[in-house]
Amino acid sequence: MPRDPVCGMIVDKDKAIKRKIGDREYYFCSETCARTYEAPEQELRSMKRRVTLALLGAVSVAALRVLAMLGLVVAFMTLEFAGVSVWELAFFVISAPIVWIAGWSIHYGAYKALKTRNINMDVLISTGTLAGWFYGTISTFFPTLAPGGHGYFEIAIGILAFVLLGKFIEETIRRRSAAAIRQLLELQPTIARVLKDGNEVEAPIDDVQVGDILIVKPGEKIPTDGKVISGYSSVDEKILTGESIPVEKSVGSEVIGATINKNGLLKIEATKVGTNTALMQIVSLVEEAQASSAPVQKLADRVVSYFVPIVFTAAVVAFTYWFFTTNFSTAFLVLLAILLIACPCALGIATPAAILAGVGKGAEYGILLRGGEYVEKARKLHTIVFDKTGTLTKGEPMVTDIIAYGGYKKEDVLQAAASAEKGSEHPLAEAIVKTVGNSNIPDAEAFEAIPGHGVKAKYEDKQILLGNRKLMKDNNVSIETTEKSLQELEEQGKTAMILAINGKAAGIIAAMDTPKENAATAIKRLKSMGLEVAMLTGDNERTAKTIATQLGIDTVIANVLPWEKVDAIKKLQAEGKVVAMVGDGVNDAPALAQSDVGIAIGSGTDIAKETGGIVLIKDDLRDVALGIELSQATMKKIKQNLFWAFIYNTISIPIAAANLLNPVIAAAAMAMSSLFVVSNSALLKRLKLKT
Ligand SMILES: [Mg+2]
């Protein structure tokens, strides 16, 4: 049964809504899901329309003001229609669609927040803009009740324009989570070769049942999870495990769908299909993690939740005072004035302007910040968890040790091994060839690969064997002299190969996936920042420990299956820790989505980059610390901006309470706070990160 890639629902293939995107058919539960999938930008486009409307309104009222100042519309200004000033009516007409159409999402957001007994930014802005608009409307139609009030239309428009612009900026920076799921789904093969009544038939993957016998030719993707029932081959499982050395598979071995069969024909029995496969399990883990990550309460909202009750109290107290000392209309207008002035224009852009500056700064250093929420979370970071293969290490083996026996020199051992392996595509062979340099390797004759054991070749009239103990035993080579070194190397998690020349052990070559150049420096730096560093890997304990010791990592979580990584993160979070995860592979995607700050390595898979909140473009691990520092610097800007956003308006509240507020003071407070917020954000450009 196919799965709706938007909502994750299992849908009936015949009844579902179909869309063909690329060479793949997708099934959706509803038109809405299909539309969301096809055009993730749709919401952004509608937001853009609303921002444009508000900005156009702001520009037109400003233009009218300028015309008035230049004395160009004096005749128009004095025109009256049924006792209502046409001039003020113009402002009313311009402001109405902005407040009610462009600003609708904010009023609705405020309603939803209040319904759940929350106070957020929307509540303050909705109250402020509505207060300003009603004040202006009363002033337009009943000028005697609220004289000179139409300046408040412009302030309401200004607030909405700024707030919508801020929301639009944030939305354009934010990641689109659907892309990760989509790319994961695209890893799944579309067709399978099914054996039916002795005939090979190509069938769509959705038709494969548990128990079906599938044929997988060399170079093909394994269609679904299964068990080998005949054949022998090595399978590249890098896509799911990150491990570059192919895994040998023989009868009885389990294979995972979407991994690549390298060199032999495999006949497998499907054991898991559809949503039960390992790949689909990862898909649902990513979905779950993305859906369950509770949105952090933004700092702006936290500030507002303290500020609003104070404002409302002040408004009620002032209203009561003026009601008893003068009359209702004065008291009511004071109330509206307080609500209006308490809502700063700059509030809407305080956070987005700082984040935008942070994103720009990050781009200079090759650090991609994909949303404000990560910035806010990075400041409380406690633990940073690294994936091993491909993240801390290069992801491919390198020759680490060469030992020579029987009078041979190390160079001879390496040379003989390289020539025997020259034609092979196996990562271990490539590591040996790379160490020697391709141009210095003579061609071997009679090359023969013995799957799972090693290679046999002839080189300068010598019989060469390179491989494991089994290969040596099968060819009657005595390896007693090598055993101690072999064990030592294996103890360190290295892959050791024995080289025999003319039937005698001549040396050992050991290879291992080694740490990246700056990994140790990067870890040291993170530790000095007071962070706990841990390593999370599917690899065995020995290999994991060797790498961890080299890098100075104390906590190692080894033997973790791809779909279990997310549990390790959840466990740390359950201890109350704010966790960052650094990873590169498909197997890291659920953990990246679950962690508070997902950091993806730029050289990693697109899926990791799609689920990560911070992407390090340069593949330099030292950038992890820079990314965190950048987030912290950006957070500091957000805090400062919020201060500047509120300060002028806060000072103006007593003026409003004293019934002395006029539109000029209100506009000046709004302008000052906006100016300070924008220029303070621009200062982030001068930040220098310690590289
Ligand atoms: Mg990896």
What is the reported pLDDT for 61? 87
What is the reported pLDDT for 594? 92
pLDDT above 90 covers what percent of the chain? 41
What is the reported pLDDT for 177? 54
Residues 6+ apart with CB under 8 A from 486: 469, 479, 496, 498, 508
* 454-459, strands of its sheet edge to edge: 393-404, 504-515, 495-501, 462-467, 454-459, 445-450
What is the reported pLDDT for 176? 54
Q: What interhelical angle do 347-365 and 622-657 show, nearest 10? A: 160
Is residue 175 predicted with pLDDT exceeding 60?
Answer: no
pLDDT category at 553 given cuts 50, 70, 90 is very high
How much distance in Å is there from the Cα of 20 to the middle of ligand 1? Answer: 32
How much distance in Å is there from the Cα of 491 to the middle of ligand 1? Answer: 22
Is residue 691 predicted with pLDDT exceeding 80?
Answer: no
pLDDT category at 184 given cuts 50, 70, 90 is confident
Q: Which range has the top average pLDDT, 168-177, 256-265, 423-432?
A: 256-265
Token representation of residue 122: 């929307």
- Quote the CA–CA distance of 145 and 125 in Å, as a whole number: 25
pLDDT category at 292 given cuts 50, 70, 90 is low
Is residue 178 predicted with pLDDT exceeding 70?
Answer: no
pLDDT above 70 covers what percent of the chain? 94
What is the reported pLDDT for 22? 58
What is the reported pLDDT for 151? 81
Q: What is the pLDDT of residues 587-597, one digit of tens each?
A: 899 999 999 99
- Quote the CA–CA distance of 463 and 499 in Å, as a whole number: 10
DSSP string, 198-233: TEEEEEEGGG--TT-EEEE-TTPBP-SEEEEEE--E
How much distance in Å is there from the Cα of 554 to the middle of ligand 1? Answer: 19
Q: What is the amino acid identity at position 57?
A: G
Is residue 599 classed as helix, strand or coil in its secondary structure?
strand
What is the reported pLDDT for 69? 79
What is the reported pLDDT for 224? 94
How much distance in Å is there from the Cα of 387 to the middle of ligand 1? Answer: 6
Q: What is the pLDDT of residues 138-151, one digit of tens each?
A: 888 887 777 766 68
Q: What is the pLDDT of residues 449-484, one digit of tens each?
A: 887 788 888 888 889 999 999 999 999 999 888 999
Mean pLDDT over residues 219-246, rounded? Answer: 89
Mean pLDDT over residues 422-449, rounded? Answer: 82
Identify the H or E element spanning 348.
Answer: helix 347-365
Is residue 443 predicted with pLDDT exceeding 90?
Answer: no
Mean pLDDT over residues 542-547, rounded? Answer: 91
Is residue 475 classed as helix, strand or coil in its secondary structure?
coil
CA atoms within 13 A on the CB side of 360: 14
How much distance in Å is there from the Cα of 241 to the middle of ligand 1? Answer: 7
Residue 37 vs residue 301, higher pLDDT: 301
Mean pLDDT over residues 340-365, rounded? Answer: 89
- Quote the CA–CA distance of 507 and 402 in Å, as a whole number: 7
Q: What is the pLDDT of residues 639-658, one digit of tens each?
A: 999 999 999 888 999 999 99
The backbone torsions φ and ψ at residue 449, rounded to the nearest 5 degrees and listed phi first, read -95, 135
- Quote the CA–CA distance of 672 and 674 in Å, as a whole number: 5
What is the reported pLDDT for 9? 67
Q: Which of 57-71, 315-329, 497-511 has the lowest mean pLDDT?
A: 57-71
What is the reported pLDDT for 550? 93
**Whole-number mean pLDDT of the chain?**
87
Is residue 492 predicted with pLDDT exceeding 80?
Answer: yes
How much distance in Å is there from the Cα of 14 to the middle of ligand 1? Answer: 38
Token representation of residue 351: 């956070």
How much distance in Å is there from the Cα of 359 to the middle of ligand 1? Answer: 26
What is the reported pLDDT for 296? 65
Is residue 206 predicted with pLDDT exceeding 80?
Answer: yes
How much distance in Å is there from the Cα of 390 to the middle of ligand 1? Answer: 4
How much distance in Å is there from the Cα of 548 to the middle of ligand 1? Answer: 15
* Catalytic residue list: 387
Is residue 437 predicted with pLDDT exceeding 60?
Answer: yes
How much distance in Å is there from the Cα of 544 to the middle of ligand 1? Answer: 13
298 burial (CB, 10 Å; 0-12 / 13-18 / 19+) is: middle
How much distance in Å is there from the Cα of 391 to the middle of ligand 1? Answer: 6
